[in-house]
Every structure is written in C-alpha cells, then in structure tokens.
Amino acid sequence: MQNTWQNIYYHYNKWSKDGSFEKLFSSSLQVIRVDLALECIQLDGSGVPPSHTPSKKGVKTLSGKEEKEHKP
C-alpha cells in the first residue's frame, strides 16, 4: 500500500469518525496530568534561583547602549 493522499485521508477520516483521536487525546491528557504534578509547579517565580533574577543596573539594548529600568 502506497502512502498516497487518499490512503492518508482514508485513515484520518476513519479515525475521526470512530473516536480514535478523542481517545488518544484524553488518555494523553491523563498521562500528562499525572507526570506533571501541576500542584508542584511554581508559576509565580518563587522557585527561581537568585542567579536568574533581573539586573538592577539596567539592560543593554540592541544598539549597545545601557538603559536604566524605569520603575512606576
């Protein structure tokens, strides 16, 4: 059997209609939820080591000039 577009279309259409993609997605989502342990992720940056904190002196722009950070 050759990998023609008709063959790809046939299988894609078949799997779409019989729910194979939905089963694959839901089972993948369950595995990801278990593996990630979302309750352990720190999205607020509280777990970032001090070496990754922003510079207090300023930043260099693309032109090479240093600019001070403006605080509100």
Whether 2 shows a pLDDT value over 60: the answer reads yes
> Nearest 10 degrees: CA dihedral of 9, 13, 19, 25?
40
Average of per-residue pLDDT across 50-59:
58
Measured CA to CA, the distance from residue 53 to residue 45 in angstroms comes to: 10
Average of per-residue pLDDT across 9-21:
94
Q: What pTM value is reported for the model?
A: 0.42
Average of per-residue pLDDT across 13-28:
93
Q: Which pLDDT value is given to residue 18?
A: 95
Q: Which pLDDT value is given to residue 58?
A: 60
Q: What does the mean pLDDT of the chain come to?
A: 74
Measured CA to CA, the distance from residue 32 to residue 43 in angstroms comes to: 17
Is 39 or 48 the better-scoring residue by pLDDT?
Answer: 39
For the stretch 7-28, what's the b/e string if a residue is b when 16 or more beta carbons lie within 10 angstroms of its beta carbon?
eeeeeeeeeeeeeeeeeeeeee
